[in-house]
Amino acid sequence: MRDRARMRDVAVVAVAQSHHVRRDQARNEVELLMPVLHEVKAAVGLDQSGIDFTCSGSTDYLAGSAFSFVATLDGVGAYPPISESHVEMDGAWALYEAWAKIQTGVADSALVYSYGKASPGSLRDVLSRQLDPYYVAPLWPDSVALAALQARACIDAGVTSVAEMAAIAARSRRAAADNPFAQIRGSDDPEVLLKDAEIAAPLRLHDCPPITDGAVAVILAAGDRARELADRPAWIRGIDHRIEAHALGVRDLAKSPSTRLAAEAAGVADGPVDLAELHAPFTHQEVLVRDALGLSDGVTINPSGGPLAANPIMAAGLIRIGEAAGRIQRGDANRAVAHATSGPCLQQNLVCVLEGGA
Amino acid sequence: MTDVVLPEALRDVEPVRSIRTPARLEYSFTAGEATSRFLRGIADKRILGERCPQCGKVMLPPRGSCPTDGVATSEQVELADRGIVTTFCVVNVKFSGSAMKLPYVCASVLPDGGDMGLFGLVQEIPFDQIRMGMRVEAVWVDDDELAPNLSSIKWWRPTGEPDAPYESYREHV
């Protein structure tokens, strides 16, 4: 991203998402996703033949079956054969791949989607399978326990406090009252939340994201194609992602250096930030990410409610980009930062800077 | 395997050459709306496909969409429990847990009126007489054993009708 003059202008021109729920027992993955794909294409008046590249993000470990993403391609309309790719990552990284594809000049438009149907399995255990298979995964540390280790490290380092964490939970879920797609919409006061028992010290239930079934889709377009498709495209002015070591023991869990590096490369500090959509599934992680991004106190964080209000695994990061883009498209913001994370304890982080304007 | 060189302090220790870390996860499969309709039909000895409103093809088993057009299937279509062997393989390898006598034949059967084959066994005929285009019919389990899964069709057997010409099923191979 150093040489921006040579980059193609690429924008988010449409976003759609499902109404997120704890358990969608009636529908399979393609039935969950397909209405979202139809909605996002209809928003810009395109059918699949008008889309140059399609990229999705999901994980077989949620469905418990190999190549499960091939089944959801059935909702795309992939015939005549389309140019298509998939990442076993959050959809934010599928968007990164689509953005890179458009940069090469072989595509002017892209459909990006992701979905996570966590309800068939035990999510806390499923996520333990992403850990180092020799020394950590055999111990089956679940995702909440690992987040608790990080929260403890943050509290001990003076990064945050249980009171600030409860305030983040309450603010997020109250903000979600205005988000018709959110799963948890509303909260008790922080003082009330703090009376609950810890579920994995120092985390209480309100510090943890809900378990969610949901899907999201985004359409990207370059330059004049974007201006044709949308009145106010949300231009991607910078995007970058960085990763930290797989071994938890070699990381300082009370910092997020990969977020900081991605933020520098994406140019977060190059202008004022109106709002930020942060993929910080646990309350303490919002503080880490906010600090690593260098956001000032005045920046509105997660007006959608964020992942504490709905957290479909593999989709919640792309939803952050979609929410930030949607606010720019509606004229509620002119410059926004979206963040996505992957892996345990914020191992990998993606930062995207979006702007309105011509 | 290359030899493991240990530091001097561990000279008398046996090197670790492998570890076993068993992992098991349990899932509750969500069949979905369309597949649930299909499976309930199977428990009633009925084969219910679903038609694409755009291309008109009948999906089997339906998963809720037409993979060609990416739209929801809209109309349930009851198919015959007889059809054509479009392709098959002779199984000569014993799988653990299988009580099947070797060799046996696994086939894709295109029920009349459908556009996708169902996988199943072909029995009641020597394995080396089974062929593409052969007409077969479903042999269902006893009524008290019917359940919403494809085990309700024990196998397919020849009807004795003349073979279907290749042109009639070439799209479905």
Contact A31 B21 (CB under 8 A): no
Contact A27 B32 (CB under 8 A): yes
* Domain total of chain B: 1
Contacts of A16 (CB under 8 A, 6+ apart): A36, A37, A39, A40, A43, A216, A217
ipTM above 0.90, yes or no: no
SS (H, E, C) A268-315: HHHCCCCEEECCCCCHHHHHHHHHHHCCCCCCEECCCCHHHCCCCCCC
* B26, B27, B30: residue with CB nearest A25: B30
- The pLDDT tens digits for A128-173 are 999 999 999 999 999 999 999 999 999 999 999 999 999 999 999 9
Contact B68 A28 (CB under 8 A): no
CA distance A23 to chain B (A): 10
pLDDT band at A175 (very low <50, low <70, confident <90, very high): very high
Residues in chain B: 173
CA distance A253 to chain B (A): 26
Residue B59 resides in a domain? yes
Contact A64 B66 (CB under 8 A): no
Closest among A352, A344, A109 to A220, alpha carbons compared: A109
* B64, B66, B68: residue with CB nearest A31: B64
Angle at A78 between CA A74 and CA A84, to 5 degrees: 105
Q: Which of A23, A73, A74, A79 to mutate to test the interface with B (most CBs of B within 10 A)?
A: A74
How many CB pairs (< 8 A) connect A and B? 86
What residue spans of A80-222 are helical by DSSP H?
91-104, 123-126, 143-156, 162-175, 190-193
Residue B15 resides in a domain? no
- For residues B3-23, give the mean pLDDT: 85
- The pLDDT tens digits for A219-258 are 999 999 999 999 999 999 999 999 999 999 999 999 999 9
- The pLDDT tens digits for A277-336 are 999 999 999 999 999 999 998 999 999 999 999 999 999 999 999 999 999 999 999 999
* A26, A34, A137: residue with CB nearest B21: A137
Contact A31 B26 (CB under 8 A): no
Contact B28 A138 (CB under 8 A): no
Query: Looking at chain A, which residue has its C-alpha nearest residue B29?
Result: A120
Contact residues on chain A for B71, CB-CB shorter than 8 A: 34, 38, 77
Q: Which domain holds residue B136?
A: 33-172
Backbone dihedral angles phi then psi of residue A357, each to the nearest 5 degrees: 95, 175
CA distance B88 to chain A (A): 23
* A34, A119, A129: residue with CB nearest B65: A34
Flag whether pLDDT at A23 surpasses 90: yes
Contact residues on chain A for B65, CB-CB shorter than 8 A: 30-31, 34, 74-75
Rounded CA-CA distance A176/A171 in Å is 9
Distance in angstroms between the alpha carbons of the first and the last residue of chain B: 45
Contact B26 A119 (CB under 8 A): no
Taken in order of first residue, the domains within chain A and their CATH numbers are 4-122+211-229 (3.40.47.10), 135-203+234-355 (3.40.47.10)
- The pLDDT tens digits for B64-113 are 999 999 999 989 999 999 999 999 999 999 887 778 889 999 999 999 99
What is residue A357's predicted lDDT score, i.e. its pLDDT? 87
pTM of the predicted structure, to 2 decimals: 0.94
Q: Which of B55, B65, B71, B73 to mutate to test the interface with A (most CBs of A within 10 A)?
A: B65
Flag whether pLDDT at B4 surpasses 80: no
Rounded CA-CA distance B143/B81 in Å is 15
- The pLDDT tens digits for B15-53 are 888 999 999 999 998 999 999 999 999 999 999 999 999
Backbone dihedral angles phi then psi of residue A122, each to the nearest 5 degrees: -95, 100
Residue B16 resides in a domain? no
Q: Is B63 on the interface with A (CB under 8 A)?
A: yes
Residue B18 resides in a domain? no
What is the Cβ-side half-sphere exposure of residue A91, based on CA atoms within 13 angstroms?
A: 31
What is residue A2's predicted lDDT score, i.e. its pLDDT? 53
Contact B25 A64 (CB under 8 A): yes
List, as one string, the DSSP characters of A67-91: THHHHHGGGT--TTT--EEEESS-H
Query: Looking at chain A, which residue has its C-alpha nearest residue B23?
Result: A138
Residue B160 resides in a domain? yes
- The pLDDT tens digits for A259-274 are 999 999 999 999 999 9
Q: Locate B36 and state its tokens.
A: 């649930």
Contact B32 A31 (CB under 8 A): yes
Residue B3 resides in a domain? no
Residue B12 resides in a domain? no
Residue B43 resides in a domain? yes
